[in-house]
Amino acid sequence: MNSARGRLSMAASPSSVSGLEVLLSTLQNSGDTSSILNILNVLDELLSAGTDRRIHYMISKGGSEALLTALVNTCCNASPNYTMLLPLLHLLAKIGHRDRHIGLKAEKAGAVLLTLNLLKCNIKHVRRASACLWVIQVLSSSVSTAKLIGENHGLDIIYSLLPQYTTKHLLTVKAAIHAFAALLCTKTNVCLAVSKGYISGLLRLYEEWHSKGSQHGAPAICHALLRCLHKVTHRTAGRQAIISQGGIKLLHQITQTCLSNKRLETLVEPTVQLMRKCLPKTCIPLASDWSAYTFALPGRPHFVPDTELASDGSSEDSDDEEADSHEADKDYDDDLETDVSKLRLRPDPDRPKNLLPQYSCFCPEFSYNFQEMDLVSEQEESSTTSSSSSDEDIVLLNSLFSHSTRKNRKRNSSTCELSPSLSRSNSETGVSSTAAALMEAHDFHSNNNTHSANLGIRTIESQAKEQDSRYQKQDGQDHEENHAQQSQSHRTMIDILLERRRACIPNHEPKLYCSAAAKARSIPGFTILAFPDFWGHISPSGREPMAPRKPDIQRKKVLEDIQRFLNTGDIINRVVFDLEDDTLQGPSDSLWFFSKFESGNLRKAVQVRRFEYDLILNADANCSQHSQWFYFEVSNMMAEVPYRFNIINCEKSNSQFNYGMQPVLYSVREALEGRPHWIRSGTEVCYFRNHFYPTRGRMKTSFYTLTFTITFKHSEDVCYLAYHYPYTYSALKTHLNVLQKSVDPAKIFFRQQILCHTLSGNSCPLVTVTACPASSGMKDMQQLRDRPCIMLTARVHPGESNASWVMKGTLEFLCSSDLVAQSLREAFVFKIIPMLNPDGVINGMNRCDLNSEDLNRQWCKPDPILNPTIYHTKGLLYYLNSIGRTPLVFCDYHGHSRKKNVFLYGCSVKETLWQSGSPVDTVGLKEDPGYRTIPKALDRIAPAFSFNSCNYLVEKSRSATARVVVWREMGVLRSYTMESTYNGCNQGIYKGLQIGTRDLQEMGVKFCQSLLSLTRDTNFFYSRSLVNHINLDHNILDHNSHNCFEDDEPPFIEDIEYSTDCTSLKGTDLDSDVNSNTASADEESEGDEEHMAKDWQD
């Protein structure tokens, strides 16, 4: 034995491989019992003392095959030697559990049915039966092996070993349950178990073992039984069997017991997961998955959504829940571009050069006459034009609100009266400010107009356009006088409210907003304004912390959803809002919803219980996907009552809502009382996979539920809920007009132009900002023409409203009198396209344009008809490049739904090749490291910015994005995507705080300030005087970014998905059980052994 041990010790090292091979050869061929036992004991000792690495080494040298051959040889004898057979089975179980191909190897060796026969002959011999069960368990890791065992009555044999509650032979009982579970990996075996009633038996066994609490190892047996049930639920037949046998109800009752017993808490999560898997698949309650909004594209037939009968969701194609889950993400490195020619060579332009001169008009700073006299006249002309435009807007607004009567106040009406009741109530003596605010909030109600109190702010798109054209055709003066008289005789509620309660909101004018909204073109033809957009928003004075997540809150919500299935007595299931049904009236005992306004998104609301609602979002126009953004009005609430909202058709597999993020809420009453704030709101917020499926066509799609609870502060208020702080197209248009009026044209060159029109006819604004030259002299004019260009874009994805708030900060800063802003204007010419996807923003979409394409994947070859904003933005870039004014910086502002902080994506050849492991020698590649200048500057000055979250890799999947195309085709070294979180920060002074509009606007300011690092006098950027000027204290200046190269969030403690199994048996757990079996005393008598030997011979 000592010599054998010495040989094996030598074999453990790679330099003495022959020693291990000799031992394995001896094990297969020797007939000497003593030698085989010695080898088995030495192997077991050595492998137990080491790590899995030793076992895998032995497997690589044929260890599994040697043990299987020894097993077959030993069992070929007329009377097997169990003294040798038992340790052989033990070692085979330990090694086989680490060998992925053990089942196939056993089939090849003929050991599968032999092991099953051994079990059949040793059912009454506990230690032998346990050893056989462990081997069967590991062999069943192969589907073909499990199927072979099932075809030879293996399920029946093992099921007979599953006793009612007992305190004896627990090791064998647990081994039998684990072996049974392993066999259920095949569809055939599951169907067999269902047909023989084994599922009902497993449920009864679980109930009985659970009733014993924590006695005599009952929890371990319960875990093993749950594993069996989890395996069953991989198949439709198994899930249906559990439901038909009352399994969900039984498991729910047992879970309630576990929650009150800390010793049984470990059973709760796998039981809840099991119930989630068994809940019947439910079709989302829509006639069609396709968006409620369809748009006829140029040159294509009008799209008609398919509304045929829905699939029942029980197709065998989706039988395996593991197959239903999302495909595993490909290795990130595989997505990196490794073709050096694609990384370095500039492709040919996508259009002829003779088309580029048309973009010269978008460089007005080159052709404008900056003579002093002209500046003065221009200032006067601008002032006159602006005033006239403003007066015209007010007249238009008053005319729109003065024509309707109370009788035709329907949701789909083209006109609406703004009730005079408000002026009457406010003229009464003794009406308190709070009471008046409440009345006004109620009067601003924009939904369910059959109720007498529900009066809305309504803009009439069609009538607005008709009247707008009338202004152009008729004599302007006569028309203005006519409407001025009407305005004096009929003052609108808007006028009264603005006089009495208007909060001073910087750079926002409600009446200008109304006018802009009246001209915005939407698919449904919006006729109603959302109050927050009209009234405006001021960031709250204090910053809001991330919401703490209660332990097991997801479990609580899931159990409530399961209760909906079990107890239908309190379930209402009543549709209270449908975007496609204008005749539907909200019941008086439910909340009232509305979303048919600019940027609004809510397709349907279903009242589930008295204070619980399922909400369904509208997909992007002309498609059936991309539901994430929501923005809707809710009213008719009771104060201090918790309302649960479930958005049930979210598509992303995880969300920052699981990590402290909350939706935002706006209260009309609070706004009228002087607090016009979007605030973070909602408790018990969580995000998890649900049991809904699409109506048809996308059976592999999984939906997720975002659930949160809102307790409204006021009864009969009108509130708005949104995914993030809304920023509409009309808000942008209003903001640009206010900014243009606010700048001094003698100092700041600010020009709005229309880059192009969108598919639905909305204008895409282009803004040019720079400093006016000191004089019209040649030197100053040449300095203007020599200024580098900076191009900034935003909102290509309409759901990323945070990008617009960042852009708002950028625009306001560049138009300010700030010293740094002045320096930037003198150093650069800014070309800004603040909204690349106006149609998507207006229609409340999340990702796409009206052609159902992601515009940020169209930059390689944009279609001039279907992608006009991208086509012409790229054309402007081509033009600037052709005249030698390639932008020094290009940055596209975005929002990121899965990460915290703000960060940049850039482009680098070397870093891409390094990260991808490319064999290309990068030593000889020369690359300007200047692409890191702005990120480094931002890391110095911006508290929300995370330098370590930035990367500069060029991915194949993003080859058609703005960042990559502008870098590759235009040669812009500093071409970036700036991503802003929806949630908040996990670093610096903002750590643990949710981001607000003030912080987003601050980020827009900081990005501008970072551009000073590109000026000739870079020392100015790092000077203490500038640092003081931009309000940075020492702590902010020296803050360190959080290292976020890995995923932003750790794996979540509660399973968002539910397709995972009950926790698998670990190799160490199996080893422990095997060792216990080895160490225990033989419990059978000699007579029993003789009886077993007789059975074997027979």
Query: In DSSP terms, which residues pair with 793 in a beta bridge?
Result: 833, 892
Judged against a pLDDT cut of 70, whether residue 490 lies above it is answered with no
How far apart CA 312 and CA 696 sit, in angstroms, is: 9
Contact 969, 346 (CB under 8 A): yes
The pLDDT of residue 1050: 63
pLDDT, tens digit (0-9, with 9 covering 90-100), for 545-554:
999 999 889 9
Residue 449: pLDDT band (50, 70, 90) is: very low
Q: What is the mean pLDDT of residues 469-487?
A: 45
The pLDDT of residue 1019: 52
Query: In DSSP terms, which residues pair with 1004 in a beta bridge?
Result: none
How far apart CA 459 and CA 1063 sit, in angstroms, is: 58
Residue 307: pLDDT band (50, 70, 90) is: very low
* 311-to-633, 698, 936, 1012 alpha-carbon distances in Å: 32, 10, 54, 59
| Residues 6+ positions from 624 with CB-CB distance below 8 Å | 288, 289, 290, 291, 694, 697, 698
How far apart CA 817 and CA 761 sit, in angstroms, is: 35
Contact 386, 512 (CB under 8 A): no
Which residues are catalytically annotated? 979
Judged against a pLDDT cut of 70, whether residue 634 lies above it is answered with yes
Residues, the chain = 1098
The pLDDT of residue 968: 95
Residue 683: pLDDT band (50, 70, 90) is: very high
Q: Among candidates 188, 193, 99, 89, which has minimal Cα distance to 142?
A: 99
Residue 4: pLDDT band (50, 70, 90) is: very low
The pLDDT of residue 306: 52
Higher-confidence residue: 523 or 1079?
523
Residue 44: pLDDT band (50, 70, 90) is: confident
The pLDDT of residue 39: 85
Residue 503: pLDDT band (50, 70, 90) is: low
Higher-confidence residue: 718 or 327?
718
Contact 455, 444 (CB under 8 A): yes
Are β-strands 631-635 and 718-722 bridged in parallel, bridged antiparallel, or unpaired?
antiparallel
How far apart CA 228 and CA 155 sit, in angstroms, is: 12
Q: What is the mean pLDDT of residues 226-242?
A: 93
Residue 300: pLDDT band (50, 70, 90) is: confident
Burial class (CB in 10 A: 0-12, 13-18, 19+), 839: buried
pLDDT, tens digit (0-9, with 9 covering 90-100), for 47-58:
777 677 888 888
Residue 486: pLDDT band (50, 70, 90) is: very low
Q: DSSP states of 161-215 as a string? A: T--SS-SS-HHHHHHHHHHHHHHTTSHHHHHHHHHTTHHHHHHHHHHHHHHTTTG
The pLDDT of residue 442: 52
Higher-confidence residue: 367 or 561?
561
How far apart CA 394 and CA 483 sit, in angstroms, is: 10
Judged against a pLDDT cut of 80, whether residue 361 lies above it is answered with yes
The pLDDT of residue 1059: 67
* 310-to-277, 314, 694, 697 alpha-carbon distances in Å: 21, 11, 8, 9
The pLDDT of residue 264: 83
Crossing angle (nearest 10°) for helices 461-473 and 372-400: 130
Q: What is the mean pLDDT of residues 520-541?
A: 95
Q: List the single range of 48-62, 514-528, 1007-1021 with lowest mean pLDDT.
A: 1007-1021
Q: What is the mean pLDDT of residues 834-839?
A: 98
pLDDT, tens digit (0-9, with 9 covering 90-100), for 208-224:
988 876 666 788 889 99
The pLDDT of residue 328: 39
Half-sphere exposure of 796 (CA within 13 A, CB side): 26
Contact 263, 215 (CB under 8 A): no
- Give the containing element (helix H, strand E) for 564: helix 553-566
The pLDDT of residue 707: 98
The pLDDT of residue 279: 93
Higher-confidence residue: 1017 or 758?
758
Q: What is the mean pLDDT of residues 984-991?
A: 95
The mean of the pLDDT values for the chain is 81
The pLDDT of residue 869: 98
Higher-confidence residue: 953 or 19?
953
Judged against a pLDDT cut of 80, whether residue 883 lies above it is answered with yes
- Two tokens at 187? 């569809």
| Residues 6+ positions from 485 with CB-CB distance below 8 Å | none
Residue 1061: pLDDT band (50, 70, 90) is: low
pLDDT, tens digit (0-9, with 9 covering 90-100), for 122-164:
988 888 999 999 999 999 999 999 999 999 999 999 999 888 7
The fraction of the chain above a pLDDT of 70, given in percent, is 77
* 240-to-118, 317, 589, 1016 alpha-carbon distances in Å: 34, 16, 37, 73
Q: Among candidates 757, 752, 756, which has minimal Cα distance to 733?
A: 752
Contact 155, 192 (CB under 8 A): yes
The pLDDT of residue 755: 98
Q: How far is CA 484 from the centre of its chain?
A: 51
Judged against a pLDDT cut of 60, whether residue 641 lies above it is answered with yes
Query: Of 414-423, 573-582, 908-917, 1047-1056, which one has max mean pLDDT?
Result: 573-582
